[in-house]
A and B are shown apart, each in its own frame.
Chain A
Amino acid sequence: MKELRDKKVLQTLLQAVGHRISRFNRGRVRIMEVCGTHTMTIHRYGLKELLERAGVDMISGPGCPVCITPAAVHEAAINLVAGRRDLILATFGDMTRVPTRCGSLQTAIPAEGSMVKIVYSPQESLALAALHPDKDVVFFGAGFETTIPSIALAIKEAAAAGLKRYAVLCALWLIPPPLKAILESGEVKISGFLYPGHVSAIIGLEPYAFIPREFGLPGAVAGFEPGDILLGILNILDQLEKGNPEVGLEYKRVVSPRGNRLALKLMDEVLEVKDAVWRGLGLIPRSGLKPKGLFSDWDAEPRFGLKIEADSADLAGCLCGEVLRGLIPPPDCRLFGRKCAPETPQGPCMVSLEGACLVYYKYTLRTESVKARTKKRAKGNRP
Chain B
Amino acid sequence: MCLGIPVKILSIDENNQGEVDYLGTRVKAGFMLLDTPKVGDWVIVHAGYAISRLDENEARETLSLLREIAESEGR
Contact = CB atoms under 8 A, between A and B. Distances in A.
Interface of A: 1, 3-4, 8-9, 11-13, 15-16, 19, 35-37, 63-66, 92, 94, 120-124, 142-144, 146-147, 149-150, 153, 196-199, 201-202, 224, 227, 231, 234, 250, 252-256, 260-263, 266, 352-354
Given A143-B1, A147-B47, 5 more contacts: A1-B62, A37-B3, A147-B46, A149-B33, A198-B44
Please name the 8 residue pairs, one residue from A and one from B, whose CB atoms are nearest each other, closest first.
A121-B48, A252-B58, A253-B58, A201-B52, A253-B59, A146-B2, A150-B49, A198-B2
Given A36-B1, A147-B47, A201-B44, A253 B66 contact: no
Contact of B1 (A15, A144, A227): A144
A8 B67 CA distance: 11
Contacts of B23: none
Contacts of A3: 63, 66
Contacts of A15: 73, 75
A170 B44 CA distance: 24
A13 B69 contact: yes
A153 B32 contact: yes
28 contacts: A1-B59, A3-B63, A11-B75, A12-B69, A15-B75, A16-B69, A35-B2, A37-B3, A121-B47, A143-B47, A146-B2, A146-B47, A146-B51, A147-B46, A149-B33, A150-B33, A153-B32, A196-B2, A201-B4, A201-B51, A201-B52, A231-B66, A253-B58, A254-B55, A256-B52, A260-B51, A262-B33, A354-B2
A261 B61 CA distance: 24
Contacts of A8: 75
B64 to A, nearest CB: 11
Contact of A198 (B51, B54, B58, B66): B51
A343 B57 CA distance: 44
A143 to B, nearest CB: 6
**Dominant SS among interface residues on chain B:** mixed
A262 B4 contact: no
Given A66-B1, A143-B1, A198-B4, A260 B52 contact: yes
A12 B48 contact: no
A120 B48 contact: yes
Nearest to B48: A121
A160 B72 CA distance: 57
B65 interface: yes
B69 A124 contact: no
Given A254-B54, A262-B32, A63 B49 contact: no
A12 B2 contact: no
A120 B52 CA distance: 19
Contacts of B52: 198, 201, 254-256, 260
B53 to A, nearest CB: 8
Interface in B32-47: 32-35, 44, 46-47
B75 A12 contact: yes
Contacts of B2: 35-37, 63, 144, 146-147, 196-199, 354
A127 B32 CA distance: 17
Contacts of A144: 1-2
A352 B1 contact: yes
A36 B2 CA distance: 8
A252 B62 contact: yes
Nearest to A124: B48
A150 B46 contact: yes
A253 B47 contact: no
- Best-buried of A124, A143, A146, A227 by chain B (most CB within 10 Å): A146
Contacts of A201: 4, 44, 51-52
Contacts of B54: 253-254
B23 to A, nearest CB: 14
A63 B1 CA distance: 9
Contacts of B65: 231
A43 to B, nearest CB: 15
Contacts of B70: 9, 12
Contacts of A37: 1-3
- Best-buried of A142, A201, A234, A256 by chain B (most CB within 10 Å): A201
